Amino acid sequence: MSFDLSAVGTSTKPYSMTYDWKTVATYALGIGAKKDELEYLFEGHKNGMKVYPTFGVVPAYEAIVELLGRSKTNMAMVVHGGQTVIAHKPIPSHGTFETIGTLKAIYDLKKFGQVILETSTSMKGEKLFDTTWSIIVRGAGGFDGPRPPSDGEDEPSVPKDRAADFTFEEATSPEQALLYRIAGDVNPLHADPEFAAAVGFPQGPILHGLATYGFAARAIIKNAAGGDATKLKRFTAQFRKPVWPGDTIVTQGWKVGDGKLAVLATAKGRPDPVLANAWAIVG
């Protein structure tokens, strides 16, 4: 099945999502929040309940699924290639989101196809956050489509001449994927050992890439934002290698000026990055 290139540029209907403190607390636990992050877990916290900005991926799910369907993406061949969340305002601990998704582009990577999706989420007419999703489709390239443009943004890269400004290690639990999936991504790859083995992961179900992304975001918040999630304005990362529940995620950050951080994440004991070409803005 080939892509429907005529779908590029189309947008979804507005999707509404009503949520409460239980929703955001479940998400926080899914990305590894501990009892010392109580303001992200307890609705009765004296300073009010806070929300991690990477929670912005959750209300985007329905729009993303609709857009992938419009593009005629073969869902059996999908790999999550990269993710960006841009926060405009702190996320309230409860309310109703309205999210609109747009199919930004479909690119030909020769062996693979790449689908770029964007969402914008608001509440009561005020924009809260935007997301960008890079979806890689295995075996879907070679359709003589456009190549992705060179990115004009000044994306920081990991300095090779100095050590990281912070290194943060945190173990995931053996049940981490089972917990994260309650946030909305119920792909059996993250729960069913037989399914995982059938699609090439005999070691067992893998952790959601967005859970790894959330662990790294928390590491940035703890080590570069004084624990204040409202200071994380943007986080961009590419997914490279899987993480298995129970692995320890090692997140490193390098301050590169203007509030930007170059970021790298690995699974402890394995050399290849699990998140690469990653960077954040803290301010």
List strand residue ranges (DSSP E) for 78-125, in order: 78-87, 95-108, 112-123
Distance CA 71, CA 2 (A): 9
Instruction: Report in angstroms the alpha-carbon separations of 149 from 71, 84, 105, 107, 116.
Output: 20, 17, 11, 9, 12
DSSP designation for 40 = G
For residue 151, what pLDDT is reported?
A: 62
Picking from 1, 133, 127, 121, the residue whose alpha carbon sits closest to that of residue 67 is 133
Residue 119 pairs in a beta bridge with 101, 131
Instruction: Give the pairing of strands 232-239 and 15-19.
Output: unpaired
Residue 204, pLDDT > 70, answer yes
Mean pLDDT check: name the lowest of 7-16, 99-108, 190-199, 232-241: 190-199
The pLDDT confidence band at residue 106, using thresholds 50, 70 and 90, is very high
Quick: pLDDT tens for 15-52.
Answer: 999 999 999 999 999 999 999 999 999 999 999 999 99
Across all residues in the chain, what is the average pLDDT?
95
Domains and CATH numbers, the chain: 1-149 (3.10.129.10), 151-283 (3.10.129.10)
Residue 238 pairs in a beta bridge with 82, 276
For residue 77, what pLDDT is reported?
A: 86
Distance CA 118, CA 120 (A): 7
Quick: pLDDT tens for 122-139.
Answer: 999 999 999 999 999 989
Picking from 129, 123, 273, the residue whose alpha carbon sits closest to that of residue 213 is 273
| The two structure tokens encoding residue 174 | 């053996």
The model's pTM is 0.95
Residue 117, pLDDT > 90, answer yes
Distance CA 255, CA 282 (A): 10
Residue 153, pLDDT > 80, answer no
